[in-house]
Amino acid sequence: MSLYPILIAPLFNKFTPLPEGGLRLKIERLASTLKFPLKKLFVIDGSTRSTHSNAYMYGFYNNKRIVIYDTLIQQCKNEEEVVAVIAHELGHWKLNHTMYSFVAMQVLTLLQFGGYTLVRNSKDLFESFGFQTQPVLVGLLIFQHTIMPIHHLVSFALNLVSRAFEFQADGFAKNLGYGAPLRAGLIKLQEENLSTMNTDPWYSAYHYSHPPLVERLAALDRSDKKEE
C-alpha cells in the first residue's frame, strides 16, 4: 500500500506538482485548517488512459501527499468543486476511516491465516474428503470452499461500513461549507464516469462499496433539513 504510489504508480502515469495558483492555495489552506500534514501536492495524467476522475491521499505520519487526477480539474466547473472533493477525501483522514479500514484488513488477514491453519491441520477434515494425507494445495482448496459463505457475509459487512464512511465524509465536507460545490461536483463526476446514478438499494448495499449518487445527495438534503 505504501510502495505502490511511490514506486509502481509512476511507471504508468506521470506525477507533476500542482502549479502555483488559486487551486493550490485553497487546498493548502484547507489542509492547514484541518492540520493535515501535507508535504506534496500532485496532478496525475489520468486523461491519457480514460476520462475517469478521482483524487486520493497517501503517506504515513507527517509525510502526506494528495494526488488529483487532471480529469477532475478539467471536469469540475470551478475550483470550489475540486476543493470540495478534496475536503471529502480529507474527511476520511480526519475521521480515521483510513486507519479503521487498515486495521480491519489486517485483522481479517490474520483470521484467514488462522482459519487456513485449522483446516490444514485437521486430519479428520481431509479424511472426510477421501484424503489419507494432507496436501497443502488440497487444504487450500478446502479452505476456500469452506470460507466462501463467510466471505460473502464479511464482504457485505465491509461494504456497509464503507458506505457509512462515505456518508460521513460527505457530511464532513458539507460541515466545512462545501455542501453546494460537493453536490455539483458529485453530479458532474458521476456523469463523466458513466456510473449508475440510481441503483436498486438492495443491490447496491450488497455489491457497492460506495453509495449511489441519489443516496448521497438525499443524505446531504436530509442534513440540510435537520439544520433548518
Residue 68, SS3? strand
CA dihedral 47, 52, 53, 55 (to 10 degrees): -100
Binding-site annotation: residue ranges: 88, 92, 166
SS3 per residue for 114-130: HHHHHHHCCHHHHHHCC
CA-based max dimension of the chain:
71
Other CB atoms within 10 A of residue 122 CB: 15
Binding-site annotation: residue ranges for Zn(2+): 88, 92, 166
The C-alpha atoms of residue 115 and residue 158 are separated, in whole angstroms, by: 19
Which residues are known to be catalytic? 89, 170
